[in-house]
Structure 1
Amino acid sequence: MSHGPQSLLSLRATLGEGPVWVARDAALWFVDIKAPAIHRFDPALESLQSWTAPAQVGWIVPSADGLFLVGLQTGIHRFDPARGSFTLVHAPEADRPGNRLNDATVDGQGHIWFGSMDDAEAADTGRIYRFDDAGCTDGGFAPICITNGPAFSPDGGILYHTDTLGRTLWQSRVEEGRVLHDTRLFTMIEDGAGYPDGPTVDAEGCVWTGLFAGWGVRRYDPNGRLMETIAFPVANVTKIAFGGDDLATAYATSAAKGLSKEALTAQPLAGDLFAFDPGVRGLPGVIATA
């Protein structure tokens, strides 16, 4: 694979998001929030399977029962690909119908950390939660409009989370897998460089972020210093995931959302799934136990 991003699938996804490599079936799973749809890409066969979701879908993670947990606008559901069925598990924001769930990760104990956001992208109603067998716990952060992430450092001791409209990435220390403290600024995206979208951490502890309206992805060292920017042929790059048997391929979702007809003509690959050589390996995925 060449170093630069290459389109793997011509999708024209409205809002491609949430890529996650699932080792048990050697495939990349991701969503199109606005379609709404769940996608499974098999790189060995270069094939795509898709399922229609019953509501806007922000994320998907593999679960210990061999199925998946997905974050729909209506709550967390268990998804069975064989049946195409969605079963409600928990509705963390049933009192906020204007919100939707947006991005997620799984910690070393198998607990899901996820965020919510105002679907109208106007009100500060987004929060970050931790979900396990006991239910949902609010992360305790001040509400913001659009949350993204979270993502964990390799040792699980730091949680990275994003305020997209504020163009800031934050970090919080984690104790006993659940207590968050010492929240401080990790880095800020400067004016004109786009908005930080989904963060991902590599095996060296560096943080990658997609740039919505920023034409690429960035890699930051653990101290928040910019190390590398990889340019894309599309404006809206949402998130990357490391995959393949050696976790040495970076897959990236993108979005056509918000682009004018003229912009879409100039960006024929907008909404596609991309891959590139990141020059570093990713971290093994964790199965959700909830």
Structure 2
Amino acid sequence: MALIGTPEVAVTVGATLGEGPIWDAQRKCLWFVDIKGHRLHRFDPATGTLESTEAPEEPGWVVPLADGALLVGAKAGVHRFEDTTFTLLHAVEPDVPGNRLNDAAVHPDGSIWLGTMDNAEEAPSGGYYRLHGSSCTALSPEPMVITNGPAFSPDGRTVYLVDTLERAILAAPVQADGQPGEARLFARVPEGMGYPDGPVVDSSGVVWVGLFSGWGVARFAPNGTFIERIGLPVANVTKIAFGGDDLRTVYATTARKGLSGEELAAQPHAGDLFTFTVDVPGLPPIHPAI
């Protein structure tokens, strides 16, 4: 992979916890959220403008639908967002009020895999779920304090799951029944490189992982070998997305969360949206079957 140019600010956001970037090929824009700021953001790269909407509770992720509406995973569950209105479609873990939805990805079969986490970042109460049509079923991995991902290999046969506090990226086969098989350790982020956050896979099968407190994005080969860290001028990089007509424009969300006043003064662009270009494209966005 050749990095074309250096990462630069795409738009000033100042997000407390920017997350969940995803390219909308239909509208040629990028959606992302500020979890702690309760904001849903829409960035138009053609004009450089940012539009923001107040979201219910804490939004963790957003996914465009084929009909032009959006799915938004907020604290209580999965919402449909259309015409400025959020409608709750699926409550997730209503019996665990301390949890919230955190990250998600669409499998090639149209199902959405989503993760939950302890909002206090203390208890191993987070898990993964598969939403397909009107059915939302729990998946099998062991509970985690902070789940991130999933992300899928280009053929959809492997799912990558991130256990953030353990600095572990797991891989599991996706079985014919839509359930993950036994998970194995795919890679571990070394001490001193921060914590693995949201994962994304490009068209060559390389796994990209945001590094919270790690000043960049890590790349791992399909066999789990660490390739490189792409540095950014802010400590907390949460997740990337591939966008643009050729899916070679990378967008990275970042966060101000946890930074001291001194650290924020030294990182004036913490919480902003960054961009850079690469020579290996990402995977085309998939509309969920909802």
TM-score (norm 1): 0.97
User: For residue 52 of structure 1, what is the aligned residue in structure 2?
Assistant: 54
Q: Which 4+ stretches in 1 moved above 3 angstroms?
A: none
Q: How many residues align?
A: 288
Does the residue aligned with 2:80 lie in a helix, a strand or coil? strand
Q: Which amino acid aligns with 1:279?
A: D
Matching residue within 11, 14, 17 for 2:13: 11
C-alpha distance in 1 between matches for 2:193 and 2:256: 18
Q: CA deviation at 1:130?
A: 0.4
Counterpart for residue 41 of structure 1: 43
CA distance in 1, matches of 2:126, 2:18: 20
Could you tell me how far 1:2 is from its partner in structure 2? 5.0
What is the identity, as a one-letter code, of the residue corresponding to 2:195?
Y
SS at match of 2:6: coil
| Cα distance in 1 for residues equivalent to 2:147 and 2:200 | 14
**What is the CA-CA distance between 1:79 and the residue it aligns to?**
0.6
Percent identity of the aligned residues?
A: 54
Structure 1 residue 177, shift from structure 2 partner: 5.8
Aligned to 1:79, which of 78, 81, 90? Answer: 81
Q: Contact conserved, 1:20 with 1:241, CA < 8 A, in 2?
A: yes
1:57-72 alignment runs, 5 A limit: 57-72=59-74
Contact preservation (8 Å) 2:250, 2:275: yes
In structure 2, the partner of 1:133 is 133
Paired residues of 2:4 and 2:278 also in contact (CA < 8 A): no
- Aligned partner of 1:252 in structure 2 is 252
Match in the other structure for 2:204? 204
C-alpha separation in 1, matches of 2:19 and 2:92: 21
- Counterpart in 2 of 1:231? 231
- The alignment's C-alpha RMSD in Å is 1.1
| Map of 1:103 onto structure 2 | 103
Distance 1:134 1:196, change over 3 A: same
Give the secondary-structure state (helix, strand or coil) at the position aligned to 2:263. helix
Q: Give distance in 2, aligned partners of 1:18 and 1:132.
A: 20
- Contact kept, 8 Å, 1:109 with 1:177, in 2: the verdict is no
Structure 1 distance, partners of 2:207, 2:160, is 8
More displaced 10-residue stretch of structure 1: 148-157 or 177-186: 177-186
Deviation at 1:23, TM superposition (A): 0.3
How far apart in 1 are the matches of 2:268 and 2:4?
20
Q: Is the contact made by 2:118 and 2:124 (CA closer than 8 Å) also made in structure 1?
A: yes
AA of the residue aligned to 2:39: A
Question: What code does the residue aligned with 2:234 have?
Answer: V
Q: Distance in 1 between matches of 2:176 and 2:154?
A: 15
Residue 234 of structure 1 aligns with an amino acid whose one-letter code is: V
1:228 positional shift = 1.8
How far is 1:179 from its partner?
Answer: 2.3
Gaps of 5+ in 2: none
1:118-267 pair list within 5 angstroms: 118-176=118-176, 178-267=178-267
Q: CA separation in 1, counterparts of 2:187 and 2:53? A: 36
Contact 1:162–1:170 (Cα < 8 Å) also in 2: yes
| 3-state SS of paired residue (1:258) | coil
Unmatched tracts of structure 1, length 5 or more: none
Does the 8 Å contact 2:98/2:120 carry over to 1? yes
Give 2:286's aligned residue.
286
Question: What's the CA shift string for 1:220-248, capped at 9, x where partnerless?
Answer: 10001111211110000000000000000
Q: Deviations over 1:166-187 (max 9, x none)?
A: 1000000012261211310000
